[in-house]
Protein backbone atom coordinates (compact mmCIF):
# COMPACT_ATOMS: atom_id res chain seq x y z
CA UNK A 1 0.00 0.00 0.00
CA UNK A 2 1.51 3.40 -0.92
CA UNK A 3 2.07 5.65 2.12
CA UNK A 4 -0.59 8.37 2.41
CA UNK A 5 0.59 11.89 1.78
CA UNK A 6 1.52 13.72 4.97
CA UNK A 7 0.93 17.47 5.19
CA UNK A 8 2.34 19.95 7.68
CA UNK A 9 0.93 23.43 8.20
CA UNK A 10 3.58 26.15 8.52
CA UNK A 11 2.35 29.11 10.59
CA UNK A 12 4.26 32.38 10.63
CA UNK A 13 4.13 35.01 13.36
CA UNK A 14 1.84 37.10 11.13
CA UNK A 15 -0.56 34.14 10.77
CA UNK A 16 -0.58 33.74 14.55
CA UNK A 17 -1.28 37.44 15.09
CA UNK A 18 -4.27 37.11 12.76
CA UNK A 19 -5.72 34.31 14.93
CA UNK A 20 -5.17 36.13 18.22
CA UNK A 21 -1.84 34.94 19.64
CA UNK A 22 -1.77 38.21 21.63
CA UNK A 23 -5.19 37.71 23.21
CA UNK A 24 -4.05 37.48 26.83
CA UNK A 25 -7.45 36.92 28.52
CA UNK A 26 -7.98 33.87 26.31
CA UNK A 27 -4.40 32.67 26.81
CA UNK A 28 -4.83 32.85 30.61
CA UNK A 29 -7.99 30.72 30.33
CA UNK A 30 -6.22 28.15 28.14
CA UNK A 31 -3.22 27.95 30.49
CA UNK A 32 -5.58 27.64 33.46
CA UNK A 33 -7.05 24.57 31.72
CA UNK A 34 -3.55 23.12 31.37
CA UNK A 35 -2.99 23.55 35.11
CA UNK A 36 -6.14 21.52 35.69
CA UNK A 37 -4.66 18.75 33.50
CA UNK A 38 -1.42 19.00 35.47
CA UNK A 39 -3.41 18.66 38.69
CA UNK A 40 -5.02 15.48 37.32
CA UNK A 41 -1.69 14.17 35.98
CA UNK A 42 -2.93 14.01 32.35
CA UNK A 43 0.39 15.05 30.77
CA UNK A 44 3.97 13.89 30.38
CA UNK A 45 7.21 15.71 29.87
CA UNK A 46 10.60 14.27 28.94
CA UNK A 47 13.02 12.02 30.77
CA UNK A 48 12.60 9.07 33.13
CA UNK A 49 10.96 11.35 35.71
CA UNK A 50 8.40 12.40 33.07
CA UNK A 51 8.89 15.97 34.23
CA UNK A 52 12.03 17.40 32.65
CA UNK A 53 11.87 21.06 31.68
CA UNK A 54 13.97 20.23 28.61
CA UNK A 55 17.22 18.93 27.26
CA UNK A 56 19.88 21.60 26.94
CA UNK A 57 23.06 21.99 24.91
CA UNK A 58 25.58 23.54 27.32
CA UNK A 59 28.30 25.07 25.13
CA UNK A 60 31.91 24.65 26.32
CA UNK A 61 34.05 27.35 27.98
CA UNK A 62 36.86 26.80 25.48
CA UNK A 63 36.96 26.48 21.73
CA UNK A 64 36.51 22.91 20.46
CA UNK A 65 36.24 22.51 16.67
CA UNK A 66 33.60 25.02 15.52
CA UNK A 67 31.33 24.43 18.52
CA UNK A 68 30.09 27.79 19.82
CA UNK A 69 31.76 28.93 23.05
CA UNK A 70 29.48 29.63 26.02
CA UNK A 71 28.29 33.19 26.63
CA UNK A 72 25.51 35.12 28.35
CA UNK A 73 22.14 33.39 27.88
CA UNK A 74 23.74 31.21 25.20
CA UNK A 75 22.12 27.78 24.85
CA UNK A 76 19.92 25.52 22.78
CA UNK A 77 17.01 23.77 24.44
CA UNK A 78 14.54 21.09 23.30
CA UNK A 79 11.42 21.00 25.49
CA UNK A 80 9.17 18.01 24.82
CA UNK A 81 5.76 16.95 26.13
CA UNK A 82 2.54 15.01 25.75
CA UNK A 83 -0.62 16.89 26.68
CA UNK A 84 -3.93 15.11 27.34
CA UNK A 85 -7.49 16.33 27.88
CA UNK A 86 -8.98 17.94 24.77
CA UNK A 87 -5.49 18.08 23.19
CA UNK A 88 -4.08 14.52 23.07
CA UNK A 89 -0.93 15.65 21.23
CA UNK A 90 2.81 15.45 21.55
CA UNK A 91 5.07 18.32 20.68
CA UNK A 92 8.10 20.38 21.29
CA UNK A 93 9.37 23.87 21.84
CA UNK A 94 12.89 24.15 20.42
CA UNK A 95 14.98 27.27 20.77
CA UNK A 96 18.38 28.87 20.56
CA UNK A 97 19.28 31.78 22.83
CA UNK A 98 22.19 34.22 22.76
CA UNK A 99 22.32 37.62 24.48
CA UNK A 100 24.48 38.84 21.55
CA UNK A 101 21.43 38.52 19.26
CA UNK A 102 20.23 41.90 20.45
CA UNK A 103 23.21 43.60 18.71
CA UNK A 104 21.90 42.12 15.45
CA UNK A 105 18.38 43.38 16.10
CA UNK A 106 17.19 39.84 16.82
CA UNK A 107 15.32 38.61 19.89
CA UNK A 108 17.52 36.99 22.58
CA UNK A 109 15.95 33.62 21.87
CA UNK A 110 14.36 32.31 18.67
CA UNK A 111 11.75 29.63 19.17
CA UNK A 112 9.88 27.04 17.11
CA UNK A 113 6.77 25.17 18.27
CA UNK A 114 6.11 21.76 16.70
CA UNK A 115 2.84 19.85 17.19
CA UNK A 116 2.70 16.11 16.48
CA UNK A 117 -0.07 13.56 16.25
CA UNK A 118 0.35 11.47 19.41
CA UNK A 119 -0.31 8.18 17.54
CA UNK A 120 1.57 8.51 14.28
CA UNK A 121 4.15 11.18 15.13
CA UNK A 122 3.07 13.27 12.13
CA UNK A 123 4.26 16.86 12.68
CA UNK A 124 0.98 18.46 11.65
CA UNK A 125 2.06 22.01 12.55
CA UNK A 126 5.35 23.89 12.67
CA UNK A 127 4.90 27.35 14.11
CA UNK A 128 6.82 30.51 14.87
CA UNK A 129 7.23 30.08 18.63
CA UNK A 130 8.34 33.43 20.10
CA UNK A 131 4.92 34.97 20.66
CA UNK A 132 3.39 31.66 21.75
CA UNK A 133 6.12 31.29 24.35
CA UNK A 134 6.06 34.88 25.60
CA UNK A 135 2.27 34.73 25.99
CA UNK A 136 2.18 31.34 27.73
CA UNK A 137 5.01 32.44 30.06
CA UNK A 138 3.07 35.53 31.09
CA UNK A 139 -0.15 33.57 31.43
CA UNK A 140 1.35 31.40 34.19
CA UNK A 141 1.61 34.20 36.82
CA UNK A 142 -1.79 35.29 35.48
CA UNK A 143 -3.31 31.96 36.51
CA UNK A 144 -1.33 32.03 39.77
CA UNK A 145 -2.76 35.50 40.52
CA UNK A 146 -6.31 34.40 39.79
CA UNK A 147 -5.98 31.53 42.28
CA UNK A 148 -3.46 32.76 44.86
CA UNK A 149 -3.55 36.57 45.02
CA UNK A 150 -5.53 38.36 47.69
CA UNK A 151 -9.03 39.26 46.45
CA UNK A 152 -9.16 42.90 45.40
CA UNK A 153 -5.42 43.08 44.59
CA UNK A 154 -4.91 46.50 43.01
CA UNK A 155 -1.19 47.13 42.47
CA UNK A 156 1.35 45.10 40.43
CA UNK A 157 5.04 45.66 41.15
CA UNK A 158 7.17 44.64 38.17
CA UNK A 159 10.93 44.07 38.37
CA UNK A 160 12.39 44.04 34.85
CA UNK A 161 10.71 45.68 31.87
CA UNK A 162 11.45 43.15 29.12
CA UNK A 163 9.18 41.19 26.81
CA UNK A 164 8.33 38.64 29.47
CA UNK A 165 7.39 41.02 32.26
CA UNK A 166 5.10 42.87 29.87
CA UNK A 167 3.18 39.65 29.18
CA UNK A 168 3.27 38.75 32.90
CA UNK A 169 1.67 42.09 33.78
CA UNK A 170 -0.97 41.78 31.03
CA UNK A 171 -1.81 38.31 32.33
CA UNK A 172 -1.95 39.30 36.00
CA UNK A 173 -4.39 42.06 35.01
CA UNK A 174 -6.43 39.58 32.93
CA UNK A 175 -6.33 36.94 35.65
CA UNK A 176 -7.55 39.30 38.37
CA UNK A 177 -9.62 42.01 36.73
CA UNK A 178 -8.93 44.38 39.66
CA UNK A 179 -5.48 45.83 38.80
CA UNK A 180 -5.45 49.64 38.69
CA UNK A 181 -1.75 50.44 38.83
CA UNK A 182 1.64 49.01 37.85
CA UNK A 183 4.92 50.12 39.42
CA UNK A 184 7.93 49.32 37.23
CA UNK A 185 11.63 49.14 38.05
CA UNK A 186 14.27 48.49 35.40
CA UNK A 187 17.85 49.86 35.44
CA UNK A 188 17.24 51.15 31.89
CA UNK A 189 14.72 54.04 31.86
CA UNK A 190 14.00 53.46 28.16
CA UNK A 191 12.89 49.90 29.00
CA UNK A 192 10.62 51.17 31.80
CA UNK A 193 9.18 53.78 29.43
CA UNK A 194 8.40 51.15 26.81
CA UNK A 195 6.70 49.01 29.50
CA UNK A 196 4.73 52.03 30.74
CA UNK A 197 3.54 52.96 27.25
CA UNK A 198 2.40 49.41 26.52
CA UNK A 199 0.59 48.88 29.83
CA UNK A 200 -1.18 52.24 29.59
CA UNK A 201 -2.27 51.51 26.05
CA UNK A 202 -3.34 47.89 26.54
CA UNK A 203 -4.70 48.01 30.09
CA UNK A 204 -5.60 51.66 30.57
CA UNK A 205 -4.00 51.59 34.03
CA UNK A 206 -1.76 54.07 35.84
CA UNK A 207 1.96 53.23 35.56
CA UNK A 208 4.62 54.57 37.94
CA UNK A 209 8.29 54.30 36.90
CA UNK A 210 10.53 54.08 39.95
CA UNK A 211 14.27 54.19 40.57
CA UNK A 212 14.61 51.45 43.18
CA UNK A 213 13.44 47.86 43.51
CA UNK A 214 12.11 48.68 46.97
CA UNK A 215 9.61 51.20 45.58
CA UNK A 216 8.32 48.64 43.09
CA UNK A 217 7.91 46.03 45.80
CA UNK A 218 6.59 47.69 48.92
CA UNK A 219 3.15 48.81 47.68
CA UNK A 220 2.57 45.79 45.49
CA UNK A 221 -0.22 43.27 46.03
CA UNK A 222 1.28 41.11 43.28
CA UNK A 223 4.98 41.18 42.37
CA UNK A 224 6.27 39.89 39.06
CA UNK A 225 9.99 39.26 38.58
CA UNK A 226 11.46 38.65 35.11
CA UNK A 227 14.92 40.10 34.59
CA UNK A 228 17.76 38.88 32.40
CA UNK A 229 21.50 38.95 32.99
CA UNK A 230 23.65 37.80 35.86
CA UNK A 231 22.55 40.18 38.61
CA UNK A 232 19.34 38.92 40.17
CA UNK A 233 17.27 41.73 41.69
CA UNK A 234 17.79 41.96 45.46
CA UNK A 235 14.54 41.89 47.47
CA UNK A 236 14.56 42.28 51.26
CA UNK A 237 11.96 40.20 53.10
CA UNK A 238 10.71 43.17 55.13
CA UNK A 239 9.72 45.04 51.94
CA UNK A 240 7.00 42.45 51.23
CA UNK A 241 3.50 43.69 52.00
CA UNK A 242 0.99 41.66 54.02
CA UNK A 243 -1.02 39.39 51.74
CA UNK A 244 1.42 39.75 48.83
CA UNK A 245 1.79 37.23 46.02
CA UNK A 246 5.36 37.23 44.67
CA UNK A 247 5.66 35.47 41.32
CA UNK A 248 9.13 34.42 40.19
CA UNK A 249 9.22 33.97 36.43
CA UNK A 250 12.88 34.95 36.66
CA UNK A 251 15.01 34.48 39.77
CA UNK A 252 15.48 37.00 42.59
CA UNK A 253 18.15 37.40 45.24
CA UNK A 254 16.27 36.87 48.52
CA UNK A 255 17.28 35.75 52.00
CA UNK A 256 16.36 32.28 53.22
CA UNK A 257 13.90 33.72 55.76
CA UNK A 258 11.57 34.86 52.94
CA UNK A 259 11.11 31.25 51.90
CA UNK A 260 10.34 30.24 55.50
CA UNK A 261 8.00 33.14 56.12
CA UNK A 262 5.96 32.84 52.92
CA UNK A 263 3.80 29.94 51.76
CA UNK A 264 5.42 28.26 48.77
CA UNK A 265 3.72 27.22 45.54
CA UNK A 266 5.20 25.97 42.27
CA UNK A 267 3.88 25.56 38.75
CA UNK A 268 4.87 21.86 39.00
CA UNK A 269 7.25 20.90 41.80
CA UNK A 270 8.14 17.60 40.05
CA UNK A 271 9.85 19.64 37.32
CA UNK A 272 11.89 21.50 39.93
CA UNK A 273 12.84 18.15 41.49
CA UNK A 274 14.12 17.14 38.05
CA UNK A 275 16.16 20.39 37.96
CA UNK A 276 17.65 19.45 41.36
CA UNK A 277 18.59 15.97 40.14
CA UNK A 278 20.18 17.43 36.98
CA UNK A 279 22.06 20.03 39.05
CA UNK A 280 23.57 17.33 41.25
CA UNK A 281 24.82 15.45 38.19
CA UNK A 282 26.18 18.52 36.39
CA UNK A 283 29.98 18.50 35.94
CA UNK A 284 30.13 22.20 36.84
CA UNK A 285 28.15 21.62 40.04
CA UNK A 286 24.69 22.62 41.21
CA UNK A 287 25.28 26.33 40.58
CA UNK A 288 25.25 25.61 36.81
CA UNK A 289 21.46 25.69 37.17
CA UNK A 290 21.50 29.36 38.10
CA UNK A 291 21.33 30.35 34.43
CA UNK A 292 18.38 28.16 33.46
CA UNK A 293 16.16 27.60 36.51
CA UNK A 294 14.16 30.67 37.60
CA UNK A 295 13.42 28.72 40.79
CA UNK A 296 17.16 28.53 41.58
CA UNK A 297 16.94 30.43 44.90
CA UNK A 298 14.37 27.90 46.17
CA UNK A 299 15.77 24.69 44.70
CA UNK A 300 19.20 25.57 46.12
CA UNK A 301 17.70 25.78 49.63
CA UNK A 302 15.88 22.47 49.13
CA UNK A 303 19.06 20.84 47.83
CA UNK A 304 20.94 22.07 50.92
CA UNK A 305 18.18 20.66 53.19
CA UNK A 306 17.35 24.16 54.42
CA UNK A 307 13.75 23.81 53.23
CA UNK A 308 11.67 20.66 53.41
CA UNK A 309 10.21 20.23 49.93
CA UNK A 310 7.06 18.69 51.43
CA UNK A 311 5.77 22.19 52.18
CA UNK A 312 5.87 23.22 48.50
CA UNK A 313 2.45 22.97 46.90
CA UNK A 314 1.32 22.90 43.27
CA UNK A 315 -0.80 25.41 41.37
CA UNK A 316 -2.41 22.56 39.36
CA UNK A 317 -3.99 21.18 42.51
CA UNK A 318 -5.29 24.61 43.49
CA UNK A 319 -6.88 25.05 40.04
CA UNK A 320 -8.31 21.51 40.23
CA UNK A 321 -9.74 22.27 43.68
CA UNK A 322 -7.86 19.60 45.63
CA UNK A 323 -5.70 22.22 47.38
CA UNK A 324 -7.49 25.13 49.12
CA UNK A 325 -4.86 27.67 48.02
CA UNK A 326 -4.58 30.94 49.97
CA UNK A 327 -5.47 30.69 53.66
CA UNK A 328 -6.35 34.33 54.41
CA UNK A 329 -5.76 37.94 53.33
CA UNK A 330 -2.56 38.28 55.37
CA UNK A 331 -0.79 35.22 54.03
CA UNK A 332 2.33 36.00 51.98
CA UNK A 333 2.91 33.66 49.06
CA UNK A 334 5.89 32.98 46.79
CA UNK A 335 5.09 31.25 43.50
CA UNK A 336 7.93 29.82 41.39
CA UNK A 337 7.64 28.89 37.75
CA UNK A 338 10.21 27.28 35.49
CA UNK A 339 8.51 27.07 32.10
CA UNK A 340 6.86 23.95 30.72
CA UNK A 341 6.37 22.79 27.12
CA UNK A 342 2.79 21.65 27.92
CA UNK A 343 1.87 25.33 27.91
CA UNK A 344 3.39 25.99 24.48
CA UNK A 345 1.52 22.97 23.14
CA UNK A 346 -1.84 24.12 24.49
CA UNK A 347 -1.59 27.70 23.25
CA UNK A 348 -0.06 26.52 19.95
CA UNK A 349 -2.87 23.98 19.41
CA UNK A 350 -5.55 26.58 20.20
CA UNK A 351 -4.09 28.89 17.56
CA UNK A 352 -3.53 26.06 15.06
CA UNK A 353 -7.24 25.16 15.21
CA UNK A 354 -8.18 28.78 14.52
CA UNK A 355 -5.70 29.03 11.66
CA UNK A 356 -7.15 25.89 10.05
CA UNK A 357 -10.67 27.30 10.40
CA UNK A 358 -9.54 30.51 8.67
CA UNK A 359 -7.48 28.76 5.98
CA UNK A 360 -4.27 30.48 7.11
CA UNK A 361 -0.71 29.23 6.86
CA UNK A 362 1.26 27.45 4.22
CA UNK A 363 0.85 23.76 3.62
CA UNK A 364 4.02 21.75 3.16
CA UNK A 365 4.04 18.21 1.81
CA UNK A 366 6.16 16.20 4.23
CA UNK A 367 6.06 13.15 1.96
N1 LIG B 1 9.67 30.86 33.70
C2 LIG B 1 9.57 30.82 32.39
O3 LIG B 1 8.78 30.06 31.83
C4 LIG B 1 10.36 31.75 31.54
C5 LIG B 1 10.17 31.77 30.15
C6 LIG B 1 10.86 32.71 29.39
C7 LIG B 1 11.73 33.59 30.01
N8 LIG B 1 11.92 33.51 31.36
C9 LIG B 1 12.84 34.41 32.05
O10 LIG B 1 12.33 35.73 32.04
C11 LIG B 1 13.39 36.63 32.17
C12 LIG B 1 13.17 37.85 31.30
O13 LIG B 1 13.21 37.49 29.93
P14 LIG B 1 13.04 38.62 28.81
O15 LIG B 1 13.01 37.87 27.51
O16 LIG B 1 11.93 39.53 29.14
O17 LIG B 1 14.43 39.38 28.94
P18 LIG B 1 14.79 40.84 28.41
O19 LIG B 1 16.26 40.85 28.31
O20 LIG B 1 13.95 41.20 27.21
O21 LIG B 1 14.31 41.82 29.57
C22 LIG B 1 14.82 41.76 30.86
C23 LIG B 1 14.83 43.15 31.48
O24 LIG B 1 15.33 42.99 32.81
C25 LIG B 1 16.12 44.15 33.10
N26 LIG B 1 17.00 43.84 34.23
C27 LIG B 1 18.18 43.20 34.24
N28 LIG B 1 18.65 43.10 35.49
C29 LIG B 1 17.74 43.70 36.29
C30 LIG B 1 17.64 43.91 37.69
N31 LIG B 1 18.58 43.45 38.52
N32 LIG B 1 16.55 44.56 38.17
C33 LIG B 1 15.57 44.97 37.35
N34 LIG B 1 15.60 44.79 36.01
C35 LIG B 1 16.67 44.17 35.49
C36 LIG B 1 16.83 44.46 31.80
O37 LIG B 1 17.25 45.80 31.77
C38 LIG B 1 15.73 44.16 30.77
O39 LIG B 1 14.99 45.32 30.47
C40 LIG B 1 14.66 35.83 31.87
O41 LIG B 1 15.30 35.56 33.09
C42 LIG B 1 14.16 34.56 31.29
O43 LIG B 1 15.01 33.47 31.57
C44 LIG B 1 11.24 32.63 32.13
> What predicted TM-score, i.e. pTM, was given to this entire model?
0.97
Residue 185 falls inside a structural domain: yes
**Same domain? 95 vs 234:** no
pLDDT, averaged in runs of 10, over the chain (367 residues): 91 98 98 98 96 95 95 94 98 96 95 98 98 98 98 98 97 98 98 98 98 98 93 97 98 97 98 95 92 93 97 98 98 98 98 98 95
Here the CATH number for the domain that contains residue 347 is 3.30.1780.10
CA 215 to chain CA centroid, Å, is: 25
Atom of ligand 1 nearest to the CA of 292: 43
Instruction: For strands 263-266 and 313-314, give the pairing.
Output: parallel
Which residues are CB-neighbours of 303 under 8 A, at least 6 positions away?
276, 279, 280, 286
**Same domain? 58 vs 42:** yes
Residue 1 falls inside a structural domain: no
Other C-beta atoms lying within 10 Å of the C-beta of residue 176: 22
Q: Is the CB of 229 under 6 A from ligand 1?
A: yes
CA 84 to chain CA centroid, Å, is: 20
Residue 59 falls inside a structural domain: yes
**Same domain? 84 vs 165:** no
- Domain holding 183, by residue range, is 138-340
**Same domain? 240 vs 158:** yes
Residue 2 falls inside a structural domain: no
Ligand 1 pocket mutation, candidates 187, 227, 295, 344, criterion most atoms within 8 A of CB: 227
| Residue 117 to residue 122: CA distance in whole angstroms | 5
pLDDT at position 2: 80
What is the domain count for the chain? 2
**Same domain? 81 vs 18:** yes
Q: Is the CB of 231 under 6 A from ligand 1?
A: yes
**Same domain? 158 vs 288:** yes
**Same domain? 67 vs 160:** no
Q: Is the CB of 187 under 6 A from ligand 1?
A: yes
Q: Is the CB of 192 under 6 A from ligand 1?
A: no
**Same domain? 300 vs 161:** yes
- In order of 106, 146, 170, 199, 221, the CA distances from 150 in angstroms are 38, 9, 18, 22, 7
169 Cα to the center of ligand 1, angstroms: 13
Q: pLDDT tens-digit profile of 172-213?
A: 999 999 999 999 999 999 999 999 999 999 999 999 999 999
pLDDT at position 1: 81
Amino acid sequence: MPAPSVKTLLLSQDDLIRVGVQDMPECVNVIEGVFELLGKGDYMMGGPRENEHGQMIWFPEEKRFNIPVTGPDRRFMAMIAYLGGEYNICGEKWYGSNAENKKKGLPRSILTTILNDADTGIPFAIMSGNMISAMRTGAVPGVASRHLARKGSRVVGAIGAGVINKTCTLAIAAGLGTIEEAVIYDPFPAASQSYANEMKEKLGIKVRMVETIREAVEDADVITIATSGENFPRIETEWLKKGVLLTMTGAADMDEDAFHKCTLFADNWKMHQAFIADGNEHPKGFSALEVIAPSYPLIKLVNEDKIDEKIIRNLGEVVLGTDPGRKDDDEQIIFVTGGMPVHDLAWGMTLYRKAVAKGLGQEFTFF
